[in-house]
Amino acid sequence: MPSGVDVKGPKPTRADFATDQTVRWCPGCGDYSILAQVQKVMPNLGVARENIVFVSGIGCSSRFPYYMNTYGFHSIHGRAPTIATGIKVSRPELSVWVVTGDGDGLSIGGNHLIHAMRRNLDIKILLFNNRIYGLTKGQYSPTSEFGKKTKSSPFGTAEQPINPLGVALASECTFVARSVDIDTQHLSSIIERAARHRGTAFIEIYQNCNIFNDGAFEDFVAREVRTDRMIQIEHGKPLVFGKERRKGIRLRGFHPEVVTIGESGVSESDLLVHDETPQEPALAYLLSRMSYPEYPVPVGVFYRADRPRYEEIVEQQSIQATARFGAGSIERLLDSGETYKVT
Amino acid sequence: MSTETEVVPPRAKVTEIDTVVIRFVGDSGDGMQLTGTQFADTTALVGNDLATLPDFPAEIRAPAGTLAGVSGYQISFSSRDIKTPGDQPDVLVAMNPAALKTNIGDLEEGGILIVDTDAFTEGNLAKAGCKTNPLKDRSLTGFRVFDIPLTSLTLQAVAEAGLTGRQATRCKNFFALGLVFWLYERPVDYTREWIEKKFKDHEQMAKANTLALLAGYNYADTTEVFTNHFRVRKAQLLPGTYRKITGNEATATGFITAALLSGRPLFYGSYPITPASDVLHELSRFKNYPVKTFQAEDEISAIGAAIGASYGGALGLTGTSGPGVALKSEAIGLAVMTELPLVIANIQRGGPSTGLPTKTEQADLFQAVLGRNGECPVAVVAPATPADCFAMAIEAFRIATRFMTPVFFLSDGYLGNGAEPWKIPPKSELPELDVRFRTEQEGFQPYLRDPKTLARPWAVPGTPGLEHRIGGLEKEDVTGNVSYDPQNHEKMVRLRAEKIARIASDIPRVEVFGKDSGRVLVVGWGSTYGAITSAVEELQEKGRPVSSIHLRYLNPFPANLGDVLRRFEKVLVPELNLGQLSMLIRARYLVDAIGLNKVQGKPFRVSEITRAIEELLRG
């Protein structure tokens, strides 16, 4: 069960999670769709609004908390995971969400993101990846393609982009997923799974910035090509894609290859079967690096694991110490150490 | 535990004195901090007043025998009330030539010098840059020199414990400690018990160290090296229960007490940094108290988490030193904008940049008062002595929660590491910390202020019907919604400033030590209290027209400060910086404050302050 569960009272609706604030994203921005899916999922979780906190940093995506009728904290650039950590450790019963972007989470706040994930706090991190800086009007981001021409790179960038899922996996994150803003059904199902995961859940959401990086993902997310150029990975199922469901991914050594079922003797049993919960996240890493046009772009849950949560361990230590030494009091505290009396 | 020791009736002559200053110096691997701490603990238990000054290099183990590796621990103890670890040692215990060379200049004329002759090898002399052996070149004739082969005596004494030669050699600090215990009539019991506890899983080490300790004591007692030993009677301290406490221990204890008094848990976010790490070590021990510690990935995360915890209803605390505060500045601004209670403890050290990590300084006052973008006022308090860290830690949270504001707690390396006897206050004397959350839905507005304090309500997640959003963008008055309105911005900037200014009516007025008007007023803050007060006291006894005040509140200043300043002809401000408090005083009160400034990584000597006052009185 997700944190902050409260089954009392009438079930809230999607509208209960909307605020009276005017949403100020640019018309056509992918953020609208993500907001809608989060508001749609919330009533399903059985968590009272007052027990939910949305925390964000700085950037377009970070305006998100203003539009959620829950508790919200719009903090400073890159630091949302730190604020969320303090909330979760001091109030483990709350449902804590972090909304961040590719610049906020992977550039200025990269350090906090990796450490929050390795601690496995029970927080949910939504990283909106639009591969550009939107709020500052169009500079390249750490996920921008190599050589991309932007306002701050008129001759093309000289930087290799970072792989967000690879960062999450290397940080020992226990729930690593990807979805797309416009695939609303897939997105809402992944958000709901993340909410129900116990531990840090990280979702990279491909999000279109129609002003500064329009069509960044169009080559593979466009409705008419999506089935051929993307692949939905599902636990225990072979990696099959394409309109006809005839294409698949086969593993040759450490190298994934695209094959067609029925051609050159390939049958479905030759295909790679997805496993979300392997001993080691090597497969998830391999999948996270598959990119268009060489491969279909995978979405879904890449990896998950069950590990103790940081805030629970901390809480447990307090309980054990109290059982062993008795609860502290002012008198005991002040008189600890070597005392002596002067008369 | 027992503090009684059966002291063998001394054959040596006993001389009574009222105050002694001892400095133990050696290589940073020689255990001088431990030796000094043990001496201080026993000295507290026998009832003397005391003050300590640990002084160690930033390197954990600088090359052995070099000048850079010298570590020292000075303690002053007395039958009278004392406030400083002493200007100059009367006794110097030097474990090698480098330690002797770097410290001999401080020893009083005619002072006692105890040296380990075994350490004065050609190699060690060369490492210390001594062209001749000071034990033989007659350069020490002005002192009472006791040259003792400490290392070889220790090796003989601990032989039966069966340690390796290297391990056995490392027991020599206990030999030296035993010797000094005898010299000043201190019992060895406390240290014996400590050794047994410390090495309970290492029987050989426990045995060897005990043997070394007793051997040192007995050596002094039975040989006729020392013809004299010294008695320092119990100090006339106020009746009560005491414990010896360092500033950092008192700081941690004060913060935990604030949690217990307020009924809110303490959350400490910190990243290891000298000299603040001891606060983290100390707080992380108290798991059976409402205390959670979080060793963050960096300074920013440490404060971010503390802000998150405050938002969640805990007492959010972050602790660091100057370089860490620099990294936290933006987040402090966030706490100012979101008007959440937060305490930032800065255990100051020498700056700028990495500066002098293990040395003391007071140069972060501007940083605390002014060091952020925008108009960003916070409250600033500063403890005056190691034990005062306890009271001011509680006070910091009282202000933070009452006014919903970040509060700086400005300690420093000298206060943090220094120790003194602390009279444990009875619970009834502790302040009340009345902390309330807003729960009422009717009329709730996130930025609707208390008419008296201007504090906004503390409405924490989990409270039904009070769901709201806060953040770093400018807030609309009352509603707390994002606002870019020019008039609203000015109003909010002024409201935040006014809220901090109003703290002045909630804190004690400053009290004058001495006559409340006259020729010279000495104004201090923070760790200079002991030296300033000792100097002023000394001159007052001679009838000089000098008084002093000590500021424990730096922002806002106590309400009567301006009046007090104007009643004196001259104002002297001693500070371990280039004049930060004096500039604030000049700016605020248009008073010609004269600075006495020192930035050597060391506290003031009393004599430096008396000299400056005398000069002003003459001028």
CATH number for the domain spanning A128: value is: 3.40.50.970
pLDDT at B6 over 80: no
- Measured between its terminal Cα atoms, the distance across chain B in Å is 55
Q: B289 and chain A: CB distance < 8 Å anywhere?
A: yes
Element (DSSP H or E) covering residue B252: helix B247-262
Cβ of B117: how many Cβ atoms within 10 Å? 15
Q: CA B268, CA B294: separation in Å to the nearest integer?
A: 6
Q: β-pairing, A71-74 with B469-471?
A: parallel
Nearest to A116 by CA among A149, A144, A94, A83: A83
Here the tokens at position B400 are 């933070």
For the stretch A10-56, pLDDT in tens is 788 999 999 988 999 999 999 999 999 999 999 999 999 999 999 99
Contact across the interface for B237 and A342, Cβ inside 8 Å: yes
Q: Tens digits of per-residue pLDDT, B226-266?
A: 888 899 999 988 999 999 999 999 999 999 999 999 999 99
A86 contacts B310? CB cut-off 8 A: yes
Q: Which pLDDT score, from 0 to 100, does residue B12 have?
A: 75
Q: How far apart are CA A3 and CA A123, in angstroms?
A: 9
Give the closest of A84, A86, A314 to B316, CB-based. Answer: A86
Q: Is B443 exposed, middle or buried (0-12, 13-18, 19+ CB in 10 A)?
A: exposed
Calculate how close chain B gets to A85, using CA atoms only, in Å.
6
Spatial separation of the C-alpha atoms in residues A17 and A19, rounded to whole Å: 7
- pLDDT for B278 equals 97
Helix (H, G, I), strand (E, B) or coil at B70: strand
B287 with A115: Cβ contact below 8 A? no
Q: What order of strands is seen across the sheet that includes strand B240-246?
A: A339-342, B240-246, B419-423
Contact B289 A112 (CB under 8 A): no
Under 8 Å CB-to-CB from B412, ≥6 apart: which residues? Answer: B275, B347, B348, B349, B360, B361, B362, B526, B527, B576
Which of A68, A86, A93 is facing B269, going by the closest CB pair? A86
Residue with tokens 């051609």: A263
Q: Is B352 helix (H, G, I), strand (E, B) or coil?
A: coil
Contacts of A325 in chain B (CB under 8 A): 288
Interface of A with B in 7-36 (CB under 8 A): 19, 21
The answer on pLDDT for B562 being more than 50 is yes
Q: Given phi > 0 = left and psi -120 to 50 = alpha, else beta, which region is B250?
A: alpha
Q: For residue A1, is pLDDT > 80? A: no
Region for residue B353 given its phi and psi (left: phi exceeds 0; alpha: psi -120 to 50; beta: otherwise): left
| Measured CA distances, B333 to A54, B317, B395 (Å) | 20, 15, 21
With respect to residue A207, please indicate whether it lies within any of the assigned structural domains: yes
What burial class does residue A131 get, using C-beta atoms within 10 Å of its C-beta: 0-12 exposed, 13-18 middle, 19+ buried?
A: buried
Q: Which fold has domain B243-426?
A: Rossmann fold (3.40.50)
Task: Please give the average per-residue pLDDT across B482-509, as a whole number.
Answer: 98
Q: Looking at the domain assignment, is residue A2 inside a domain? A: no
Look at residue A6 in the predicted model and tell me its pLDDT.
58
pLDDT of residue B4: 43
Query: Which chain A residues have a beta carbon less than 8 Å from that of B312?
Result: 86-87, 90-91, 94
**Is B260 in Cβ contact with A330 (below 8 Å)?**
yes
Report which of A54, A108, A48 is spatially closest to residue A76, judged by C-alpha positions.
Answer: A108
Whether the pLDDT of residue B2 is over 50: the answer is: no
Nearest CA in chain B to A4: B462
Residues whose CB is less than 8 angstroms from the CB of residue B67 and which lie 6 or more positions away in sequence, other chains included: B98, B101, B102, B127, B128, B129
Reply yes or no on whether the pLDDT at A341 is more than 50: yes
pLDDT of residue A2: 63
Which A residues, 71 through 100, put their C-beta within 8 Å of a C-beta on chain B?
Answer: 71-76, 79, 81-91, 93-94
Q: What is the per-residue pLDDT across A110-139, written as a single tens digit (0 to 9) for each?
A: 999 999 999 999 999 999 999 999 999 999
User: Is A123's Cβ below 8 Å from some Cβ in B?
Assistant: no
pLDDT band at B1 (very low <50, low <70, confident <90, very high): very low
d(CA B352, CA B363): 9
Asked if the Cβ–Cβ distance from B304 to A85 is below 8 Å, we say yes
Tell whether A30 is covered by a domain: yes
Is residue A283 assigned to a domain?
no
| Tens digits of residue pLDDT in A187-200 | 999 999 999 999 99
SS3 of chain A: CCCCECCCCCCCCHHHHECCCCCCCCCCCCHHHHHHHHHHHHHHHCECHHHEEEEECCCCHHHHHHHECCEEEECCCCCHHHHHHHHHHHCCCCEEEEEEEHHHHHHHCHHHHHHHHHHCCCEEEEEEECCCECCCCCECCCCCCCCCCECCECCCCCCCCCCHHHHHHHCCCCEEEEEECCCHHHHHHHHHHHHHCCCCEEEEEECCCCCCCCCCCHHHHCCCCHHHHEEEECCCCECEECCCCCEEEEEECCEEEEEECCCCCCCHHHCCECCCCCCCCHHHHHHHCCCCCCCCEEEEEEEECCCCCHHHHHHHHHHHHHHHHCCCCHHHHHCCCCEEEEC
The model's pLDDT over A63-76, given as tens digits with 9 standing for 90+, comes to 999 999 999 999 99
**What is the per-residue pLDDT for B28?**
87
CA distance B330 to chain A (A): 8
For B471, the closest chain A residue by CA position comes to: A74
CA B68 to chain CA mean position, Å: 23
In our burial notation (b when 16+ CB lie closer than 10 A, e otherwise), range A170-199 reads: ebebbbbbbbbbbbeebbbbbbbbbbebbb
Task: Name the residue in chain A with its Cα closest to that of B446.
Answer: A71
Of B338, B424, B472, the CB nearest to A334: B424
A15 vs chain B: nearest CA distance in angstroms? 15
For residue A102, give its domain range. 14-216+308-316
Cβ-based burial of A253 (10 A; exposed 0-12, middle 13-18, buried ≥19): exposed
Distance of alpha carbon B340 from alpha carbon B458, whole angstroms: 8
SS3 at position B321: coil
Q: How far is A90 from B34, CA to CA, in rounded Å?
A: 36
User: Would you say the C-alpha torsion B522, B524, B527, B529 has a positive or negative sign?
Assistant: positive
Q: Could A334 and B425 be called an inter-chain contact, meaning their C-beta atoms sit closer than 8 Å?
A: yes
Residue B456 pLDDT exceeds 70: yes
List the single residue in B1, B3, B469 with the smallest CB-CB distance to A74.
Answer: B469
Say if the Cβ atoms of A342 and B238 lie within 8 Å: yes
Please answer yes or no on whether B267 and A66 come within 8 Å at the CB atom. no
Confidence of residue A290 (pLDDT cuts 50, 70, 90): very high
Which residues from chain B sit within 8 angstroms of residue A48, using beta carbons?
464
Q: Best of B289, B291, B372 to disrupt the A interface by mutation (most A CBs within 10 Å)?
A: B289
Residue B3, pLDDT > 60, answer no
Which residues in chain A are contacts of B3 at CB distance < 8 A?
A: 340
B260 and A333 within 8 Å at the Cβ level: the answer is yes
For residue B10, pLDDT beyond 90: no
What percent of chain B stands above pLDDT 70?
98
Structural domain count, chain A: 1
Angle between helix A31-41 and helix A184-196 axes, rounded to 10 deg: 50
Maximum C-alpha span of chain B: 86
Cβ(B41)–Cβ(B68) below 8 Å: no
Which residue, among A82, A94, A112, A115, would best test binding to B if mutated, counting the most B CBs under 10 Å from its CB? Answer: A82
Give residue A5's pLDDT.
61
Query: In angstroms, how far apart are the furthest CA atoms of chain A?
Result: 98
Asked if B194 and B152 touch (Cβ cutoff 8 Å), the reply is: no
Quick check: B474 contacting A, CB < 8 Å? no
Instruction: List the structure tokens of A318.
Output: 């307090």
Residue at B284: amino acid letter: S
* C-alpha of A160 from chain center: 22
The reply to whether residue A330 touches residue B297, judged by beta carbons under 8 angstroms, is no
Per-residue burial over B300-326, b if 16 or more Cβ lie within 10 Å, else e, is: bbbbbbbbbbbbbbbbbbbbbbbbbbb
d(CA B579, CA B576): 8
The number of C-beta contacts closer than 8 angstroms across A and B is 212
Domain boundaries, chain B: 13-231, 243-426, 518-618
CB < 8 Å from B in window 274-303 of A: none
Quote the pLDDT of residue B11.
65
Backbone angles phi, psi at B271, to 5 degrees: -120, 135
CATH annotation of B518-618:
3.40.50.920
Mean pLDDT of chain B: 95
C-alpha–C-alpha distance, residues A102 and A128, integer Å: 6
Cβ contact (<8 Å) for B260 and A328? yes
Closest CA to B36 of B229, B225, B173: B173
Shortest Cα distance, chain A CAs vs residue B288, angstroms = 4
Q: Does residue A251 fall inside a structural domain?
A: no
- Which is the CATH superfamily of the domain at B13-231? Pyruvate-ferredoxin oxidoreductase, PFOR, domain III (3.40.920.10)
Chain A residues whose CB is inside 8 A of the B465 CB are 50
Measured in whole angstroms, the distance separating CA B222 from the mean position of its chain's CA atoms is 39
Is B245 in contact with A72 (Cβ distance < 8 A)? Answer: no
What is the helix (H) or strand (E) element at residue B538, kind and residue range?
Answer: helix B529-541
Give the single-character DSSP code of B552: S
Is B374 touching A (CB cutoff 8 A)?
A: no
- State whether residue B447 is helix, strand or coil: strand
pLDDT at B410 over 70: yes
Any idea how long chain B is? Answer: 619
